[in-house]
Chain A
């Protein structure tokens, strides 16, 4: 629906925004008095002179700190970002005792380099705000309006700008612990950071698209065939894990809600046990239950139903089916709770009139219950599917991705999802570059599915609708 138009409009918008900004900065400079002009260099000056002490001091402090940071620390790392370090670590054997002389640390250069880039962007933005405020001061004074004092500024933090107060901490947290690390890892995908290039012992450097080529190259050393096997199973797994749980959970909810069924609360409580009990307890126990020498095999042997144990976990097909079934055990109750709540909201007279028209139970389910459920839970299905793509716990606690295969690289097994494979590559192989590439692929898969499905959802929410 005119996506390209939207995009080009967006780009045009962006450029015209920049143009507008530059123009405004120019106007501020030419029309401003000497204080405004000097404020371009000394941030916060205009604010200080016009008795906006809080703003003035903050801007001044930002400028001083930024210059200090860049001179003593930042500039070096910003330059280092281009090469990720040039001085190798080596062992000096000229003395009696060999001494390790540490060179550059690529890891630190990349990390601090990224942080410095953000510092520069933030500084430019604050400088722009500073200029705008100086312009505002001029306009306010000309119009004879009251300039906000420090007290007004502080008060606005619990009133008009209360949201900034509330969002400050979460945003700082997300920036440091989500945004910086993600950008760091995206960068790692374009380097050769792996077991052979581990700082501080060795440098790593930019390698362009090599890792991505490796991911798609089919051959003995390439990751191609393993990647597509794992990706395929990840998609299949998420499909079954989502839809099997969805329909079975709905079915169970309908069964329990049926008129004339007693002890409704008891049935629900029993099922909900799998949500309440921490998964690492229940899943590890179930894993052992189906082990070669576990309870299930033990009883089947004892009753003479089989002659030798069933290799539930070492046979690919058994393992895959079992994982999906055990996930039903864990997942149905959640869907049941949800469906119970929604089913109660379906107006009873819809069923009443259908009954008068002579519809049977199945027809009513297909014509009333299912469409209603699908409409309401569309977004949930989507998040549930993407959540299952990354369902680490169920896979890792049950099989750790096993059974392993000689045909797969990077220690991958037949029940590995992309996410568990990524984990193995990080922990066992310290192959950070390929782990980063796979992480990016997980993102791509999730994003594509979300975008495509979202367009087909009937219930794309009207955000303001409920208010």
Chain B
């Protein structure tokens, strides 16, 4: 069962948890019930969880606080909040604490299923850099966090083998652009929907120096030597934004 996607459902309403867990179960997910924030945090420690679906209003620790605690321990883990209240303030709070989305009850099951189904898919990253050591290092970091990584040291080869399964590109840039810039241009032409994270050799002003057309779709620009925290933060942001994009009505206001 280790290959199935793990979803944690948190709500103080036992029937709500039960019905959601059952639905997710028949849809092939490994659904874990939790009836309080404490229980949820314990389950996250002990089980393999890919996404948390939590109610906002619960006795004791609420969904927004739970979301904050999860972000402290595991920033990458997507949290989706749900609420019976259409209170703007709660929605804003949830988004600020890093929730992927805030959904209102009754839940649109189809929408939440499509989000869950893309949890794994959205984790495939292509790393393109002509430095094999850099590729290996990045691959290691991201694999540990559950991403599926394909590394390419040859940009041309990368462009040929890219397909629908790639959802994020980490593109290394030589000082002054050079090869990397051509690659970026081609990526933008061929895979305009795929978000790109640039990793530049020199510091500062890389993103700004790119043309406006090239810059669209470039999520952010990182600089070598690459800090693990910076990399993870950028990757997490792109990952969560992509997940939210799956939902038909996204309450996440950017």
- Co-assembled chains A and B: no
Which B residues form the contact surface with A (CB < 8 A)?
Answer: none
Which A residues form the contact surface with B (CB < 8 A)?
Answer: none
